[in-house]
Structure 1
């Protein structure tokens, strides 16, 4: 058996990563989590909670090349154990992290389930708890338990825990999500809830549907904030990272060519990478604007518009294409997100996973072009292949043009 990826899942992100046929060991805490990935190709499933020492032993005994932590944003203990185990086993680790929800002033933010319960004690009206079964014990201090309705997974152990926490069958909603806006609205109406308690599960956890449903039903939202967490990556980043470590291939990218003649292209950044991107787009006839507080010497003779300032979202106005090539990863990520919101194709120079298109190595001779890509897995291979192609491309094009002329004359 070859080397594999150990993926700690039990989440939407974990299930998403099982779709790509990586050689996986998928670790989940419960049999229910395992059932959700039944039949996943090239995936071995292991069930049960492990502490840091058990994780370290498992990594060493199972020929694990790298670890992806796609556990829930609130699974702090599991996250810390995974980090400690990987450090002890000297195994590369990538954390997959959901984007946090953006909320307005109508949402009451609290630090913990205990704080949410104390807040509710000073209110009136029924409450729909959508935090899962782990936090139910925290709501024991609410004096009028008849106000509380718990929405939990339809798992026998979970139902048993609800009963132990004082919830009778009339106050338990046992259902598997995802829950649509309409379903959330119906549950709020059926329970008569004036309050909805939730965690910030991000888009994958249906937070937007919960907030909008509460708003439409004139209920208030109490959100338990996430534990503080540094860093974190997307599923796409984790997939690329694991493939690079294992030396795996992927389907080739579809080379969708587009006409950029006299169309606006906006580049953020004033260094060498930004200059290379600008030169390519200028060669393709684009009207290029480059935004940066400073510009390298490569821009001195370049036929493009230089705007000497920091990047702002308004700089994307009217752009047909955008490139984020600053020296700040956070700024690049913000540019990528802003472009996608506006439906503008964007290339993010330092993060292939944030791109909506991949900037190719372009080989040209007049209007004849070819693009080279190694699927974002090996920029070095892309560069070497493009250079070899450039060394013969002009001659090939001339030969084929001449052959066509001969055929036409004959």
Structure 2
């Protein structure tokens, strides 16, 4: 049995390829919504609730999982550490699949790299103008709590729950753009110009996450990129190419 932790857009593509040769698959997602997106694929079991260490260990034992593939979001480092520990304690193989870093190949002098959101205040002190936060609603309240002098516009999913959380946390509707991505260059250009954006806060979410269009718009409009680096995790075996991962799993 193969186990998968799925938390990114690659989940559907992975299961589609896996179903070409097996249905002996157990999937764990953190939300019911994530499970709903994957319901068309054939699996033996799908968990749709967050699991702690014991939860993952029980899942491994109950379904006799031999290999666990972690495809969780690259910034969900605590989830990955939990899966790594569960695999180690249950003595099974752990594999990480992660998009290649887009920024490793970008030559743009206006990129400022940070290891945490707490470093933003210092990084933005010399930037006069509005900031666009594209790192999601989970980080919006943290950024808002830093007391930045800049006006920060938060681009988030058009969800009632998300907007309610932000407004109750002190972020006004004037500083919220609720729209579902990924976005083409034209939309990014329009937002940058409409809101007079001087810097964009982003994650290294890979080309599939629309980061290339975001960077191209920043370059064209002379806006800085504030990059929050991926957390450093010792994953062990890592695949960056989906075809290579599938070929490997066929031989397991």
Number of residues paired by the alignment? Answer: 241
Matches within 5 A, 1:2-401: 4-20=1-17, 21=19, 22-23=22-23, 24-42=25-43, 44-100=45-101, 101=103, 102-104=105-107, 105-139=109-143, 140-144=145-149, 147-230=151-234, 231=236, 232-233=238-239, 234-245=241-252
Q: Quick one: distance in 2 between partners of 1:35 and 1:168?
A: 32
Distance 1:82 1:40, change over 3 A: same
What TM-score does the superposition give when structure 2 sets the normalisation length?
0.86
Helix, strand or coil for the counterpart of 1:64? coil
Counterpart contact for 1:117–1:138, Cα < 8 Å: no
Counterpart contact for 1:113–1:224, Cα < 8 Å: yes
> 1:183 deviation in Å?
1.9
Helix, strand or coil for the counterpart of 1:26? strand
Distance 1:15 1:220, change over 3 A: same
Distance 1:161 1:208, change over 3 A: same
Counterpart contact for 2:7–2:72, Cα < 8 Å: yes
Report which structure shows greater RCO (CA 8 Å, sep ≥6). Answer: 2
What TM-score does the superposition give when structure 1 sets the normalisation length?
0.55
> 1:221 deviation in Å?
0.8
Counterpart contact for 1:14–1:71, Cα < 8 Å: no
Q: Quick one: distance in 1 between partners of 2:32 and 2:154?
A: 22
Helix, strand or coil for the counterpart of 2:86? helix
Give a deviation string over 1:149-179, Cα, whole Å, max 9, x none: 1112233433333224322222222222221
The RMSD of aligned alpha carbons is 2.1
Q: Pick the structure with greater CA Rg.
A: 1
What 5-or-longer segments of structure 1 have no aligned partner? Answer: 246-410
Helix, strand or coil for the counterpart of 2:251? helix
Q: Quick one: distance in 2 between partners of 1:43 and 1:154?
A: 33
Counterpart contact for 1:132–1:152, Cα < 8 Å: yes
